[in-house]
Amino acid sequence: MSAPAIEFRDAGFSYAALDGEADGAPRGAAGASDGGSGAHARGAASVSGVNLVVRPGECVVLTGPSGCGKTTLTRMVNGLIPALYAGEATGEVLVQGVPMDAWEMDDLSCAVGSVFQNPRSQFFNLDTTSEVAFGCENMGVPQGEMHARVAATVRELSIERLMERDIRALSGGEKQLVAVASVHAMEPSVFVLDEPTAALDVDAMKRLRDVLARLKAAGKAILVAEHRLWWLAGVADRIVLMEDGRITCDLPVAEFAAMPAAERARKGLRAWDIAEVEPAAKDSEDRGGVEARTLEASCAEEPAHPLLEVRGLEARYGRRGAAVVRNCEFSAQAGRAVALVGRNGAGKTTLARCLAGLHAESAGEVRLSGRALGPRERAGRVYLAMQESGYQLFSDTAAGELRLALEARERRDGEALPEEEAAALVDRTLADFALGDFRERHPLSLSGGQRQRLAIAAGALQGARVMVLDEPTSGLDLANMRRVAAQIERLKARGTCLVIVTHDFEFACATCDELAFMADGRIAERFAFSPRTLRRAREVFGFG
Amino acid sequence: MSADGLSEAGGKGVAEVSAGGMASGAASHALSADAPKEPVAPDAASGARSSCVSGSVPVRGALAARRLDPRVSVAILVLLNAIAFSPNTMGAHFAMVGLCAVVCVWCGRAASAARWCAVYVAVTAVGYLSLLAPSSAAASFAVILVVVRCVFCIGMFASNMIATTRVGELACALQRVHLPRHAIIALCVALRFFPTMAAEFTSVVEAMRVRGVPLNARMVVTQPVRVMENLLVPVMSRLAIVADELGNAATVRGMDSSRPRTSYYDLRLRAMDWLMLAAFGVVAAFLLGVRMGWWLA
């Protein structure tokens, strides 16, 4: 057996209290229990007593619930601990047999390549070619060799198509490939990836898997910290489970795959095999119940009308730009959730932005309760829950946030609620969305998951009958994904019509009633999500 | 910056360049820059070219077809600044706008050149029209227009430079003049950060519309603090996170390395660089000459 590329010997690390970052500690604590959106990992958890070996040509996956310490382990390998994060270290970490404190940061950066979660914030150039060469430039690699390395990287990762481009125009998946390439050009022998697929769609995840397989074949040691597991089947050699900063088991992949799905779920893990994921059991009676409640809630309308109707919608960027959405026909009922799926560039985001009134259509119309509304009128009536809910919160307390939502509704409808009623409504909504304990907290001090709930609650209180959710579960572990799903069930019960843009098959199974598959800017296919349509649903998500 | 510059910073736009123009241009540049020395690099370049040409779909975000050497761009920018407020003769001014337009078109940005020229014509025309009805209001308005005209070329040239110059090449040029490493990196990150910041603000404005938080002229006047708070707090908290993440990425990519920095690019002045430098130089010399003449008289 070859010498280990990475070795943890009874290693541990606890973060020092973060100075200059007043909200760091509470956010970390909240993140551990309530989970963040995973958009960032400032409040990472401490680890202790870790023993782990990764050999050249081996791919080891670290997984476990949010806040279990995965990210901390990756930082102990790539040198961010101790370079950027102060704290107390115990035990020993060795890279290529050399203990961490004997490495110069420069040499370590060349030996260990790191890819992070957010593809948007690991770039320093505006074009791809400069970006791939950037690390080599910093390391003082001579020009001739640098050209050779960049060319070899482009060849080995098959990314010819991505070179000579503006990075901002790439999709998330393409950006992540460029990030891998820029690290690859530094010729590291170890790759460390921290939740690299949080922002990727199914195709991009498969492409990343292929790239990892190539790296593995080239004898690189790979350590991946990840929630979503299915994409690693076929490339992972071992799955390491973590909980509360400790490794609880370290299984060869065959053994992990043999574990019953229920047991994995009990451990808080996402699916390993998409074939074992099925739509939540919703019998027809239950559905009838939901619809009945819905009709009660919206007795003012004609029941024949769908709440949301889109007719011949067309949207383009710029007057002469190509239509990104065209001939789009779509409708959605109150009290139901429709998953909007499709490949990158199919027009999902543009359609979502159109619905929410953020992008003006160039033709067609959007009707709410049978009434055609212009983009300006739709803004606020169709609520868009953004991926970064931090943008959407403007008050200095959670309760204030909901007050703001009530004010917005009053401005729009022109009728004000009596003060007492308003206060009661705010309290009730906070309790409804499990935010009662955070009444007076600053929204930005909440965890990602709590912020997301608050943003959705504000939308509900604002009187939005249609809610569009943009990738509400990107980067979430099982527990938090289920929390979002429960939230959506509650919204359905209130008679809200939900359109959910998602790549997350497990999540769609848990909560969506229908699937709308978008291709070439229009809804190409639409069907109820049930065990009967499961096969097609998988295909539509990009599996099989 | 004008609307043109802003739309570029928005980052959502598809590059104006058509697929064919980009493919041949980018590849030809890569070839001309790398071929003489390095046999491997053109490999990648030709790979990029063939894949771009084979697909008939325009490539989103294709880089500008041709561009001036960053050193020449900076030199011309300095020249333009130096002569911005020297007494302008109509002809010299037209000549400079014309030269800027030539550079834009040569870089494959004809649409942008046309927009800038249209704005210039409008500004000039309105300026002269306001002279027809002399009043104090018209006069102060005309003064504003005159100032806009003076700095017009700077804006036009700079927007083209930002859109076409590669950060890597600019860094290379600055390394040649021995600027300290940290200054170079700070500049690179700043260039990358502006579009990010613009995108963040756009997101917050959109979030305000979704939340029904009013943002209009009346609000700005009556409740400026509230508006600032609504805009800035979310952006700041986002930027703090981005800065953290960028910091992590910077550390592992050797930004703090003590080794002397090298460059992927090989800067060489080409015919167009010399031509443009000379052309702008002649116009500048003429204007300076006019100024000297004034003084002498």
Q: Average pLDDT of A167-178?
A: 88
Query: So what's the ipTM on this one?
Result: 0.82
| B136 lies within 8 A of chain A by CB | no
B188–A125: do the CB atoms touch at under 8 Å?
yes
A161–B60: do the CB atoms touch at under 8 Å?
no
Say how far apart CA B7 and CA A429 lie, in whole Å.
40
Measured between beta carbons, the chain B residues lying within 8 angstroms of A458 are: 211
Q: Average pLDDT of A504-516?
A: 92
* Shortest Cα distance, chain A CAs vs residue B92, angstroms: 34
**Which has the higher per-residue pLDDT, A26 or A208?**
A208
- pTM, rounded to two decimals: 0.81
Structure tokens at A298: 């919206």
Question: Over pLDDT 90: what percentage of chain B?
Answer: 22
Q: Average pLDDT of A61-88?
A: 91
Confidence check: pLDDT of A281 > 80: no
- pLDDT per position as a tens digit, A213-240: 999 999 999 999 998 899 999 999 999 9
Cα–Cα nearest to A270, from A247, A249, A239, A234: A239
Most confident of A211-220, A535-544, B149-158: A211-220
Q: Which backbone phi and psi does A52 adopt, to 5 degrees?
A: -160, 140
**Which has the higher per-residue pLDDT, B294 or B136?**
B136
A122–B249: do the CB atoms touch at under 8 Å?
yes
User: What pLDDT shows up at residue A17?
Assistant: 67
* Preceding amide of A82 cis, omega within 30: yes
Residue A59: strand pairing partners: A222
Question: Which pLDDT band holds residue A2 (cuts at 50, 70, 90)?
Answer: confident
Element (H, E) at B230: helix B224-252
- pLDDT per position as a tens digit, B208-234: 999 988 788 888 888 888 888 888 888
User: What pLDDT shows up at residue B190?
Assistant: 82
**Residue A113 identity:** G
| B98 lies within 8 A of chain A by CB | no
Q: Average pLDDT of A337-353?
A: 90
Cα–Cα nearest to A307, from A290, A319, A321, A295: A295
Question: Which pLDDT band holds residue B297 (cuts at 50, 70, 90)?
Answer: low
Say how far apart CA A221 and CA A215 lie, in whole Å.
8
CATH number of A4-15+43-274: 3.40.50.300
- The region of weakest confidence among A510-514, B96-100, B144-148, B208-212 is B144-148
User: What pLDDT shows up at residue A527?
Assistant: 92
Segments making up each domain of chain A, as ranges: 4-15+43-274, 306-539
- pLDDT per position as a tens digit, B159-168: 998 888 888 8
Fold held by A306-539: Rossmann fold (3.40.50)
A358–B210: do the CB atoms touch at under 8 Å?
yes
| B187 lies within 8 A of chain A by CB | no
User: What pLDDT shows up at residue B6?
Assistant: 35
Q: Which among A130, A392, A458 has the least Cβ separation from residue B168? A: A130
* Shortest Cα distance, chain A CAs vs residue B139, angstroms: 36
**Which has the higher per-residue pLDDT, B284 or B53?**
B284
Confidence check: pLDDT of B236 > 50: yes
Q: What is the mean pLDDT of chain B?
A: 76
B257–A78: do the CB atoms touch at under 8 Å?
no
Measured between beta carbons, the chain B residues lying within 8 angstroms of A373 are: none
Q: Which of A161, A168, A192, A409 has the highest number of chain B CBs within 10 A, making it the mutation to test binding with B? A: A168
User: What pLDDT shows up at residue A91?
Assistant: 94
Confidence check: pLDDT of A378 > 50: yes
Q: Average pLDDT of A46-64?
A: 95
Question: Which pLDDT band holds residue B189 (cuts at 50, 70, 90)?
Answer: confident
Confidence check: pLDDT of A389 > 80: yes
A105–B11: do the CB atoms touch at under 8 Å?
no
Same fold, A4-15+43-274 and A306-539: yes
Say how far apart CA A251 and CA A262 lie, in whole Å.
17
Q: Which among A120, A142, A317 has the least Cβ separation from residue B14? A: A317
Question: Over pLDDT 70: what percentage of chain A?
Answer: 90
Task: Give the DSSP letter string of A314-342.
Answer: EEESSSSSPEEEEEEEEEE-TT-EEEEEE
A139–B257: do the CB atoms touch at under 8 Å?
yes
Measured between beta carbons, the chain B residues lying within 8 angstroms of A106 are: 254, 257-259
Question: Which pLDDT band holds residue B244 (cuts at 50, 70, 90)?
Answer: confident
User: What pLDDT shows up at residue A1?
Assistant: 60
A147–B40: do the CB atoms touch at under 8 Å?
yes
* Cβ density class B39-48: b for 16+ within 10 Å, e for less: ebbbbbbebb
Confidence check: pLDDT of B13 > 50: no
Segments making up each domain of chain B, as ranges: 67-166+270-297
- The region of weakest confidence among A290-294, A312-316, A506-510 is A290-294
User: What pLDDT shows up at residue B137?
Assistant: 79
